[in-house]
Amino acid sequence: MTIISFVVAFVAFAVLAPLIGGVIAGADRIVTARLQGRVGPPILQPFYDVKKLLAKDDSVTHSFQGFYVFLSMVFTVLAGAFFFAGGNFLLVIFILMLATLFFIIAAYSTRSPFAEIGAEREIIQVMAYEPMVILMAVTFYMATIPMLGEGTFNVGAVFALDRPLIVALPFVFIGLLFILTIKLRKSPFDLSYSHHAHTELVKGISTEMTGRTLAIVEIIHWYETVLFLGWVGLFLVWGSWIGVVVAIVGMILVYLLEVFIDNNFARVKWQFMLASSWIVTLVCVAINMVLIQVIF
Q: Tell me the pLDDT tens digit for each residue of 217-231.
A: 999 999 999 999 999
Q: Tell me the pLDDT tens digit for each residue of 95-150.
A: 999 999 999 998 888 877 888 888 899 999 999 999 999 999 999 999 998 888 88
> What is the arithmetic mean of pLDDT over 161-170?
92
Per-residue pLDDT at 195 = 66
Contact, 188 vs 268, CB < 8 A? yes
Q: Tell me the pLDDT tens digit for each residue of 37-90.
A: 888 889 999 999 999 988 887 776 667 888 999 999 999 999 999 999 999 999
Domain that holds residue 45: 3-295
Count structural domains, the chain. Answer: 1
Confidence of residue 93 (pLDDT cuts 50, 70, 90): very high
- Given a cut of 60, whether residue 197 has pLDDT beyond it is no
- For residues 110 and 270, the model is more confident at 270
> What is the arithmetic mean of pLDDT over 199-206?
64
Q: Tell me the three-class secondary structure of the chain, residue by residue.
A: CCHHHHHHHHHHHHHHHHHHHHHHHHHHHHHHHHHCCCCCCCCCHHHHHHHHHHCCCCCCCCCCHHHHHHHHHHHHHHHHHHHHCCCEHHHHHHHHHHHHHHHHHHHHCCCCHHHHHHHHHHHHHHHHHHHHHHHHHHHHHHHHHHHHCCCCCEHHHHHHCCCCHHHCCHHHHHHHHHHHHHHCCCCCCCCCCCCCCCCCCCCHHHCCCCHHHHHHHHHHHHHHHHHHHHHHHHHHCCCCHHHHHHHHHHHHHHHHHHHHHHCCCCCCCHHHHHHHHHHHHHHHHHHHHHHHHHHC
